[in-house]
Structure 1
Amino acid sequence: MEYGFLGWIIVGLIAGALAKWIMPGKDPGGIIVTILIGIAGGLVGGFIGSQLGIGGNGHIVSILIATAGAVLLLWIYRLIRSRSA
């Protein structure tokens, strides 16, 4: 199953919620920034997954890839924000 841009945004919303669940804690930007990071993570994860040939193997795989991207971006965001504070 191949997702388009809008599909990865929707998957990114789910991924953002899962990433927040995996990495609980107070984020400097609040829920809106976390949602945006989830969407970005979905897009990044979807792009990388499709480049590796694993992006279109089903809904669960797509959500896992997007969640991994969102967790990575959330971790980077927290790292950058904690150094600047």
Structure 2
Amino acid sequence: MNLLTRAKHSIEEIAGLFRQTSQARMAFNSRKRQTLPPPRAARVEVAGMGMIRIVDADSGQLLAMRQSYAEALGVAKALERGDQLPEAA
């Protein structure tokens, strides 16, 4: 009888794992379908001492400002890849 109880417990545990696997698969598929923001052409402009602007190349809209040129280039490249705008450090 003890063997039957353990077998029943193991089967219930496996059924629970199958449910978790199914939920994880559904969550993955829903994240996979999310659209990424379109890539943007960005231009880096020096606006003064320690003021570097990242500007949308198409509309001229100011997207971000950074204090170093290297940081601004990183943000511009991220935007051109289609990534979200990184927060200022």
- TM-score, normalised via structure 1 length: 0.30
- CA radius of gyration, larger in: 2
Select the structure that is richer in helix.
1
Higher relative CO (Cα under 8 Å, sequence separation at least 6) belongs to 1
Select the structure that is richer in strand.
2
- TM-score, normalised via structure 2 length: 0.29
